[in-house]
Structure formats: structure tokens, C-alpha cells
């Protein structure tokens, strides 16, 4: 039930973030991707840092809880130990994402 | 018309004359009376009230007494009948409905009057009021098990309460005379309950009474979520 | 053979498949962007490495999956939180259409 709540709260955050992300992608891919262009947007920009940090946190947790449900139903991986494992994977993924956001801000 | 029926020991094949306005239940009854007296199947009312004649008809769970053969027969003219999915088979087309109804009681499917006693006076819930409409939405369930047999989540998790039990729970959650709301919401929460529903909506798609168990389960999720906040 | 022949079921299958694919891709994505921590040159090196039509095709696939998962998720949330019970089949079609549209826009803009 708590995991379900996590899933829906992160989903609500992601709904907005993904919409913004898709718009950014469609805008950014024009003329090809380059580090200079990407970093020109994100370097020193607190707004983007905050956006990507929140986005990464929500996406990491959302993905892990989703995989947990799939694994429980299709592979029979059930129980508290699996739940804890998936949450750890989610937190780790989120940390990786926040690290990347920091890199884009700080580079 | 060719009729294939899953029986103990494999698929049996019968030939039955096609007739006007013939229902699937008519076909099964004709086979049992004319060709296979040991064929086991279940029915009672024949008019869509009792909910006992449901089977898998060409891969789809249906109430057979209200299903015309002409609407469901395959392009090859074959009618294939199997017992309801997700339930133990007793014999031939007869399933054991005990797990199905046991889950109704586990989901808190019993009305519990407020303060523990049924009031002497009728509770007046005006028919046009939203409260009444919400409570009425799921009340026509006949317990046929079609939704339960059409649900993937049940087949993935044997403990999952299933659409009918939770539709019943939702009906009672919306019944303003009911006094067991909190316990019922606890009973339907979690992985064996509403939170495992992925809204695949097979239940709603197939309910012969046109009910919407999927929407009911969504209502339970919503109620529990805002109860947390 | 269980009965799965209806639009909401297809919607579920698409939602689950896209979700699994995106969840598996996510760590890879973060790792790649994490190259920025080693400076612009490292990020550029990676971007040049994946500047190939096959990768562009994969990116297009990811964008479509993301759009699909977004639209499908909004449909489920509308059912769960707003009680939109009646137009679910239309919403399944609309979410597929949304993903298709985003995919076309990506192809128009890319390059």
C-alpha cells in the first residue's frame, strides 16, 4: 500500500517532469546533440539542477517499484526482502541520476 | 455445428443441430440429454439471475444462458467450451466456487449495521442522491465468477481477492448505513487486494451485468489513498 | 488461453513493456550523463560515440516508449483518482496516438 502510494506520488511528479523532458528533447535534438549545447543550458543553472534532481529521484523510485511488481507477478519474487532490495535499487538509481545532474550543473 | 467440450480426460467432440435463438446453455443441455448423460455442468434459473452457468466460451468467460450461439460461434462453426478459468475444476464444466466466495468474506463483503444493530426504521437514501447512485452502481452482481475468470492478476497471485469481492466491498464502502468501513478498507488494501490491480479491465469488459469492478477497485484505491493523507 | 482481447488489456501490455524497458534504460542514461562530471570533453566523447543512425533509432524508440508510458500512466491515474470510468477505450487510443505524434515530431526535429 505504501509502495503503491510511492508509485502514484512519483507518477504525478513524473507526469509533469516527463512532459517537460519530452519538450526539451524535441527542442534539443535539432541540429544534433553536443556537450557545449547541453552544458550551456545546465551549467550553473540552479533551476535545472533542482528539476533534474527531483526528476531523477522520482524516476529511480518509480522504476524500481514498477520492476518490483513485475518481478512479483511474473517471477514470483515476493516478500519484504525483495521489497527492500528494490527500494535500495531505486535509491541507488536515483543517486546515480542526482550525481549526473550535479555533473551537468558543475561541469 | 461442432462443439468441443473440455472433459476429464481431454477434449470431447459433439455434433449438435443449429437452431434459431439457441443459447450456449441450450447446446450443453442438449448434449447432456441426447449424447452424454454423464456430462457435468451447472445451471439453475436459465434467465440470467442466479449466476451459476458461467463457462469459457471460445476463450471468453460468459453466462451461457444469455449467450446466443450465433453471437459467439467461431468462423469455423466450432463452439469450444471449458470450465471457468482461475478456479479448481470439480468435473467437466463444473468449477469449485468456494475460493471465489471465500474471498468475498475476506474482503469484508458482509453488511455491518452502524452501532451493531439494524435500526427499526428504514434508512431513507433518496434514489436520486449521489450516495444512492454510488451504492447502486455495483449492487446487481449475481456472483457468476466471469470477472474472476477474466482477471490476469488472479492467475498471477492466488491470494488476490479479485474483482467481484472488491466490487462488493466498494458497494458497502458507499453504503452510508454501513459501520465497518475502516476494517473493510484494511481488508482490501495491499498486494492481495486493490493495490495489485493494474486496470487491465477484463472484469469490466466481460461482466454480463455491465458492472464496472475495475472502476470499483480504482475507487477503493482512491479512498484508501486520501485516507492516508 | 486466457481472454485478453480488448483495448484496455493492450493498453496494460504496452504500459508494462514500455515501463520495464525504460526502467532498465534509466541507470544507463544516468551513467552516460554522469560523464559530464569528468568535464565537457568526456561528455562530448560519449555523444560522438553514439552519433550513429542506429543509436538515433534507439533514441527514437525510447522517446516513443516514454511518451507511451506517460500517456498510459495518465489514463490509469484518471481512472484511479478522478474516476474516469467511461471513456477508457478512447483514452487507450488517444495515448497511442499521443506517442505516435511525439515520435513523428522527434523524427522531424532530429539531425
Chain C residues with CB under 8 Å of A30 CB are 109-111
Dist CA A71 CA A64 (whole Å) = 10
* Complex prediction ipTM: 0.91
Q: Do B215 and C1 touch (CB under 8 A)?
A: no
- The shortest CB-CB distance from C37 to any of A31, A67, A107 is to A107
Q: Where are the beta strands (DSSP E) in A14-74?
A: none
pLDDT of residue B132: 84
- The shortest CB-CB distance from B200 to any of C8, C81, C83 is to C8
Pairing of strands B78-82, B2-7: parallel
pLDDT over 70 at B33, yes or no: yes
Rg (alpha carbons) of chain A, rounded to whole number:
16
pLDDT over 60 at B73, yes or no: yes
Domains and CATH numbers, chain C: 7-109 (1.20.1300.10)
For chain B, domain boundaries: 2-95, 98-228
DSSP B84: P
Chain A residue with the nearest C-alpha to that of B160 = A73
**Mean pLDDT taken over chain B:** 93
Number of residues that this document lists for chain A: 107
Residue pLDDT, tens place only, B93-103? 999 999 999 99
pLDDT over 70 at B106, yes or no: yes
pLDDT of residue C2: 66
Cβ(A11)–Cβ(C77) below 8 Å: yes
- Per-residue pLDDT for chain C (111 aa), expressed as one digit of tens each? 467 889 999 999 999 999 999 999 999 999 998 888 888 888 888 988 888 889 999 999 999 999 999 999 999 999 999 988 888 889 999 999 999 999 999 998 886
Chain B residue with the nearest C-alpha to that of C81 = B222
Fold category of B2-95 in CATH: Ubiquitin-like (UB roll) (3.10.20)
pLDDT of residue C111: 64
User: Hey, is the C-beta of B221 within 8 angstroms of any chain C C-beta?
Assistant: yes
Number of residues that this document lists for chain C: 111
The answer for A 20-79 residues in CB contact with B (under 8 A) is 69, 72-74, 78
CATH number of this structure's domain B98-228? 1.10.1060.10
Percent of chain B whose predicted confidence (pLDDT) is above 70: 100
B135 — pLDDT class (breaks 50, 70, 90):
confident
User: Hey, is the C-beta of A103 within 8 angstroms of any chain C C-beta?
Assistant: yes
pLDDT of residue B34: 97
Chain A residues with CB under 8 Å of C59 CB are 29
| Higher pLDDT pick, C53 / B63 | B63
Chain B residue with the nearest C-alpha to that of A7 = B195
For chain A, domain boundaries: 2-12+42-106
The neighbours of chain B, by the rule of 3 or more Cβ pairs under 8 Å, are: A, C
**Paired strand residues for B13:** B4
B44-53, B63-72, B78-87, B130-139: which range is least confident on average? B130-139
pLDDT over 90 at B186, yes or no: yes
Dist CA B2 CA B46 (whole Å) = 23
Residue pLDDT, tens place only, A60-81? 999 999 999 999 999 999 999 9
Residue pLDDT, tens place only, B162-185? 999 999 999 999 988 889 999 999
User: Hey, is the C-beta of A61 within 8 angstroms of any chain C C-beta?
Assistant: no
**Paired strand residues for B10:** B7
Dist CA B39 CA C45 (whole Å) = 72
Cβ-based neighbours of C10, under 8 Å, separated by 6 or more: C92
Dist CA B139 CA C52 (whole Å) = 59
Amino acid at each position: 500500500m505504501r509502495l503503491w502510494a510511492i508509485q502514484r506520488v512519483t507518477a504525478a511528479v513524473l507526469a509533469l517532469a516527463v512532459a517537460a523532458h519530452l519538450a526539451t528533447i524535441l527542442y534539443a535534438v535539432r541540429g544534433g546533440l553536443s556537450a557545449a549545447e547541453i552544458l550551456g543550458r545546465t551549467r550553473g543553472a540552479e533551476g535545472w539542477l533542482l528539476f533534474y534532481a527531483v526528476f531523477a529521484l522520482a524516476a529511480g523510485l518509480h522504476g524500481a517499484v514498477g520492476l518490483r511488481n513485475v518481478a512479483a507477478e511474473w517471477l514470483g519474487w515476493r516478500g519484504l526482502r525483495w521489497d527492500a532490495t528494490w527500494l535500495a535499487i531505486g535509491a541507488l538509481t536515483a543517486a546515480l541520476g542526482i550525481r549526473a545532474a550535479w555533473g551537468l550543473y558543475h561541469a | 455445428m461442432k462443439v468441443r467440450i473440455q472433459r476429464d480426460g481431454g477434449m470431447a467432440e459433439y455434433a449438435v443441430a443449429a437452431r434459431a435463438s439457441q443459447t450456449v446453455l441450450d447446446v450443453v443441455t442438449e448434449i447432456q440429454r441426447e449424447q452424454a448423460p454423464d456430462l457435468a455442468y451447472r445451471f439453475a434459473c436459465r434467465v440470467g439471475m442466479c449466476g451459476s452457468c458461467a463457462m469459457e466460451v471460445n476463450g471468453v468467460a460468459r453466462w451461457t444462458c444469455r449467450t446466443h450461439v450465433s453471437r459467439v460461434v467461431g468462423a469455423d462453426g466450432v463452439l469450444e467450451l471449458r470450465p471457468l478459468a482461475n478456479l479448481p475444476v470439480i468435473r467437466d464444466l463444473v468449477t469449485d466456487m468456494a475460493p471465489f466466495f471465500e474471498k468475498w468474506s475476506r474482503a469484508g463483503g458482509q453488511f455491518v449495521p452502524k452501532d451493531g444493530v439494524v435500526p427499526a426504521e428504514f434508512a431513507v437514501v433518496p434514489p436520486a442522491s449521489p450516495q444512492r447512485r454510488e451504492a447502486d452502481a455495483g449492487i446487481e452482481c449475481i456472483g457468476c465468477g466471469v470477472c474472476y475468470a477474466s482477471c490476469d492478476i488472479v492467475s498471477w497471485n492466488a491470494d488476490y481477492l479479485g474483482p467481484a469481492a472488491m466490487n462488493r466491498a466498494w458497494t458497502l464502502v458507499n453504503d452510508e448505513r454501513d459501520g465497518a468501513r475502516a476494517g473493510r478498507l484494511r481488508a482490501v488494501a495491499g498486494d492481495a487486494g486493490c493495490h495489485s490491480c493494474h486496470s487491465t479491465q477484463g472484469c469490466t469488459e466481460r461482466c454480463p451485468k455491465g458492472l464496472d469492478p475495475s472502476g470499483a477497485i480504482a475507487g477503493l484505491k482512491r479512498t484508501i489513498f486520501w485516507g492516508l493523507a | 488461453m486466457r481472454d485478453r482481447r480488448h483495448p484496455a488489456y493492450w493498453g496494460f501490455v504496452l504500459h508494462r513493456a514500455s515501463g520495464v524497458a525504460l526502467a532498465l534504460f534509466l541507470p544507463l542514461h544516468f551513467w552516460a550523463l554522469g560523464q559530464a562530471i569528468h568535464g565537457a570533453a568526456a561528455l562530448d566523447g560519449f555523444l560522438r560515440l553514439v552519433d550513429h543512425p542506429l543509436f538515433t533509432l534507439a533514441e527514437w524508440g525510447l522517446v516513443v516508449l516514454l511518451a507511451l508510458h506517460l500517456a498510459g500512466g495518465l489514463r490509469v491515474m484518471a481512472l484511479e483518482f478522478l474516476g474516469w470510468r467511461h471513456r477508457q477505450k478512447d483514452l487507450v487510443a488517444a495515448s497511442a496516438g499521443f506517442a505516435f505524434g511525439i515520435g513523428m515530431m522527434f523524427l522531424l526535429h532530429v539531425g
